[in-house]
Amino acid sequence: MGDASMLPEIEQELSILESDLERRSFLAMLSGPYDPGDALLAIHAGAGGTDSQDWAGMLMRMYLRWAEASGYDTEVLDITEGEEAGIKSVTIAVNGKYAYGYLRSEKGVHRLVRLSPFDSAHRRHTSFALVEILPQVAFDDPDIQINPSEIKIDVFRSSGAGGQNVQKNATAIRLTHLPTGIVVTCQNERSQTQNKEFALRILRSRLLELKKAEKDVEIAVLRGEYTKAEWGSQIRSYVLHPYQMVKDHRTEYETGNSQSVLDGNLQGFMEAYLRAK
């Protein structure tokens, strides 16, 4: 007969071992070459005017709250405000261990269904926003080489809400990569030198993503699996009316607590995506 007094201690040790095994198993899913590193998060409002710009602003708040709760540092590198509400676009640096590994689950079109606060008749509207997730690329990464002669640099004044928020000096930077046509802007409360440095960082990330996308298409064509990615093919729907639900269309993971998700509770969606992949 065993000593029954040892049972609680054994159960506790077993629970610790199971938790450790679960953590190691999950980290094994974050084994891509850029998964352990920092990320760039970009959000773009889709067609739909003020509603879509407001939706893009809601997504920015959601991701900033998720990052704060997850212990990541964030910095807004470039933002274009909406005319009435929300934002037209934003680029945010998310820095911390496995930031890219977790956030890559969020790449794609996000769809919102709600009663519009900007419609005088208070009708139901559907809004779209595109989320881009890019790995931050080290300047010495051999995969990305940029020839300075292939970059056009424009300097302009940062746009703001007026008054003291508008930069008196031209500190904002626009980079155009001539071979690909990629355009990157960076405007913030910084010097021209700092904005140029961040713009180059974003350009490197976009060039890596372009190279990766071309390779993925090539592999898909060879396998006979290639289908063009369209704007309307949303990855996730957020329904606030006539019922409450957030559903990921890739994994079928869903929750009825829409407000919790919009407050940054994304872990369930991220883990479901990584397990499915």
DSSP states along 108-131: EEEEEEEE-TT-TT--EEEEEEEE
Q: What is the mean pLDDT of the chain?
A: 86
Is the model's pTM score more than 0.85?
no
Which strands sit side by side in the sheet containing 234-239, from one edge to the other?
Answer: 73-81, 87-95, 39-45, 124-135, 108-115, 234-239, 245-248, 254-255
Rounded distance between C-alpha atoms, residue 158 and residue 53, angstroms = 20
pLDDT tens-digit map of 25-60: 767 788 888 999 999 999 999 877 899 999 999 999
Please report, for the chain, the start and end positions of each structural domain, with discontinuous segments joined by +.
29-276
For the chain, first and last CA: distance in Å? 46
d(C-alpha 208, C-alpha 53), whole Å: 28
Angstrom distance (rounded) from CA 128 to CA 126? 7
Which of the 8 DSSP states describes residue 47? S
Residue type, 95: N
pLDDT at 242 over 50: yes
In the predicted model, is pLDDT for residue 12 greater than 80? no
122-176 per-position pLDDT tens digit: 788 899 999 999 999 877 777 788 889 999 999 887 765 443 444 456 788 999 9
Q: Which CATH class is domain 29-276?
A: alpha beta
